[in-house]
Amino acid sequence: MVVNIELTDTTSKIITVEDALGDTFNIPFYQRNYAWEEENAESFFNDVIEVVKGNQNVHFFGQVVSYRNGNVKDLIDGQQRITTSCIFLAALKKVAVKIEENELSRDMSDELRDIKRDVKKYTRYDSELPTLTLQKRYNDDNSINEYFRAIFEGRDELNSENRKIKPISNINKVFNYLYKNINNYIKDNCDKDNYTDMITTLRKMFDDFTSSFFFSIVETHNQDDAFIIFETLNSTGKDLSPSEIIKTYLLSQMSQDENIASYNDKWNQLDDSFNSDTDALTSFIRIYWGSRYDLVKSKTLYRSVSSEIKNNEKAQAFLNDLLSLADYYIAANKVPKSKADVELIGDPIISSILDLFRKIGSTVYFPVLFSMKLRCYSNENIRVVLYKVLSVFVRHALICGYISNRLETGFAAIAQKIYKQKLSNVDDILSELNERLMPTDRDVKAIFPVLSKKNGSGKKGWILKYFLLKFLELDNDIDQVRIDTMASSNYNVLNIGTDKDISDDYIEHLGNYVLIEGNLSSEISMEHDIDEVLDALKNSKFQSNIELYNYIKTNGWTDGAVEKRQEDFAEKSILIWK
């Protein structure tokens, strides 16, 4: 694919690490924090050793995109590699310091001093304008850069505070990995106490890395051009997650605002809410985007966002929306929910519905929920609409077995109408859900006679349990079904008949399942016989189960009995999910 980009005042060149580190780089606060871990460090170190051993003459280390901002260059892309280059030099310096602890000749001491001097020359770690300055964590928190500078001065131990900070932890892991493996390489390739060979090997590692590793440097004096290049290089999402690219783009749109530091703090708060899980944050942003603009795949999310969010005002609104929904979204996804989560959701019935969706592994409802929250609908109204969404889902996915893509795109389209106020009240929303997505009673009746479900733990078990609980609720055997307050051990789903009683085709039909209290059924195995089920039915507190017991004792349990019960369930389903 050929990409045509019109740029102004932009230069491109291939240079060594030595030449690259002659510049003064700054990582803007809106860029991704240092994210390399041991796996990345291992790959990097192997590349260094390949050059040191002479297996490669040179190594291409990747691209760097920068924007000239006064007397420094803001790194727009390549900050992970530039940072790792400096960390590697810091590790070389620490090895040199360690070797110095031995009794050495003057020439050997001078050589080690020269290595340490060259590290200082290339990194300028004690200068007011060092080679690299890392971004602030928050507006008043410079702890990441402080630790980064400290590793050059022998202060690389973590304390109780900074060990909790992910980018600092990553720097520490990579630094320690490189230091350990430099030492190991020297020990493996030099005789014990042969300090001359050790120092020569250390010098060769330094020289080969700085002179034989190359960057492709793209520099522009135009910030917009820098981001066009950044977008082109990262639009596939191979190195950065969509949420990380969106963060960079979003804050760049607000970069001229005097409150930009506070916006960066807001994004960091959002990141902290998701425990720096960029995939989880991407999923959240995708759902939000689907509720307002367009439901797109994660890999095209950035493109869609950047085509719509074109200025400071829109960027601020986007960020504020995310912050307003994040805690609610996280609470909705928790199972079990804490008291604080339930209070945040604000309604026990909504909480129960959200728990059910979570337990059966579906998030298709979120766009509708997000739009209603953004439009400040009351919990009473949200409860009504959310139950309709659940009814659509049950009929569409669980009974009729239609593909979920249509449901996901349909809910998102309705959510966008809610946000744009084309559906301006609850009645309008319910009508749209019925007309656009709800399978008809005829559809349900046509499919239900052959509806079967596998029993088991997890999602499969909860789907069956939910069906049978709602049937008991309709029969007035239990009060309102509350999935959020129900332990999985409260009730067990059992097959009534086995292959000894009915045809194999009917074993997993819904009509062959029964829900029995846990205290009556906990000892019944999956390989039970019908007499064990009958004993439990007889002692059940549910009138429906007692009636089922009497029926089986009088008529037996046959394929026809399963079919009759299945027909009864079909009629109940139409009444429950409507």
- Most confident of the following: 248-257, 424-433, 472-481: 424-433
Q: Which residues contact 75 (CB under 8 A, 6 or more apart)?
A: 25, 26, 27, 28, 31, 64, 65, 66, 82
- pLDDT at residue 485 tops 90: no
Q: What is the pTM of this model?
A: 0.73
Least confident span in 256-265, 361-370, 514-523: 256-265
Q: Bigger pLDDT: 495 or 458?
A: 495
pLDDT of residue 442 exceeding 80, the answer is yes
What integer best gives the mean pLDDT of the chain? 90
8-state DSSP, 526: T
Q: How confident is the model at residue 232 (pLDDT cuts 50, 70, 90)?
A: low
Across residues 360-375, what is the average pLDDT? 94
Q: What are the b/e assignments for 196-217, b being 16+ CB within 10 Å?
A: eebbebbbebbebbbebbbbeb
Q: What is the pLDDT of residue 234?
A: 60
Inter-residue contact 531 to 498 (CB < 8 Å): no
Interatomic CA distance for residues 1 and 400, integer angstroms: 42
Mean pLDDT of 37-43: 93
Q: Rounded to an integer, what distance in angstroms lies between the CA atom of residue 406 and that of residue 258?
A: 44
pLDDT exceeds 50 at position 236: no
Which stretch of DSSP H or E encloses residue 69?
strand 59-69
3-state class of 35 per DSSP?
coil
Tell whether the model's pLDDT for residue 210 goes beyond 80: yes
In tens, the pLDDT along 143-186 reads: 999 999 999 999 999 998 888 899 999 999 999 999 999 999 99
Direct distance between the N- and C-terminal alpha carbons of the chain, in angstroms, rounded to an integer: 50
CA distance 271 to 265: 10
Helix (H, G, I), strand (E, B) or coil at 45: helix
Q: pLDDT band at 1, cuts 50/70/90?
A: very low
- Do strands 59-69 and 213-220 pair parallel, antiparallel, or not at all (unpaired)? parallel
Residues 314-334 have a mean pLDDT of 94
CA distances from 267 to 164, 253, 320, 501 (A): 18, 14, 10, 61
Which pLDDT score, from 0 to 100, does residue 252 have?
A: 80
- Residue 238 CB coordination number (10 Å): 8
The per-residue pLDDT for 456 is 72
